[in-house]
Amino acid sequence: METAVTIFNDEARAGTFLISQGFEREHFRVLELIRKHKERFFRLDNKHRSNEFIINRVPAKKAGRPIDEFLLNEAQTIFLGTLFRNTERVLDFKEQLAGDFVKLKNTLANVAAQQHQPEWIEKRTRGKIARLEETDVIKQFVQYCTDNGSENAENYYHLLTNMVNKTMYEFEGNFKNLRDVMSTQQLEDTYFHDNVVRRALTEGMESNMDYHDIYQMVKDRIMSLAGMLGKTEIISKQLSMF
């Protein structure tokens, strides 16, 4: 069965949609039960100390509509499991769920340990400088687009970042900063593509190109770069070994 445990804001969380299947319950019934005991669930989320659940939208598969689920931490998931009777299938799921939490927590611990390595720190520091330089040029590009008739130029901050990340990397989950969980080699590659984006935008603006064509030129160059370097996995299998 597909794992319910994923990364959200750099911590292990389990989605109620797949949890409900593992516990052999309808999803809306599971949400009702959580809401019934919401004060207990909130107390178990000490890290956030909020009175709201973290909501994740599960995309529709084939027919149907997207589904909103709650993302629970390990303590909340354990408590939820105590509210259901055990069958052999439910016990199998609980065993898998416990193992998935342990595996992901070990992976995140390995990622944190990596951040103390001198080479990683050097690459991350250099990358931050390159990213600031790139952001400055993107800011100029946004103004360039606006001056040339774009009504949604601010979207290019998001579009350019997403385009690079989705072209260069494979990753699952939600991260506060994707670069903080990259490997040393990925940080080196990121430094390279930040400079590619910056130079392409500068070149296009200096040549008075149409802003749509500039964006396409950036995309083409990043695609070529991905073809040379290869698409790599954020938080690789090596980091998840324990």
Tens of pLDDT, residues 119-144:
999 999 999 999 999 999 999 999 99
Distance CA(147)–CA(144), nearest Å, equals 5
- What does the block give as tokens for 41? 């669930």
Distance CA(60)–CA(39), nearest Å, equals 30
Residue 215: how many other CB atoms lie within 10 Å: 20
Whether the predicted pLDDT of 64 surpasses 80 = no
Q: Using the 8-state DSSP alphabet, how is residue 72 labeled?
A: E
- pLDDT band for position 3 (50/70/90)? confident
Whether the predicted pLDDT of 62 surpasses 60 = no
- pLDDT band for position 238 (50/70/90)? very low
Give the rounded distance of the alpha carbon of 9 from its chain centre: 8
Distance CA(214)–CA(210), nearest Å, equals 6
**What per-residue confidence (pLDDT) applies to 49?**
63
Can you give the length of the chain in residues?
Answer: 242
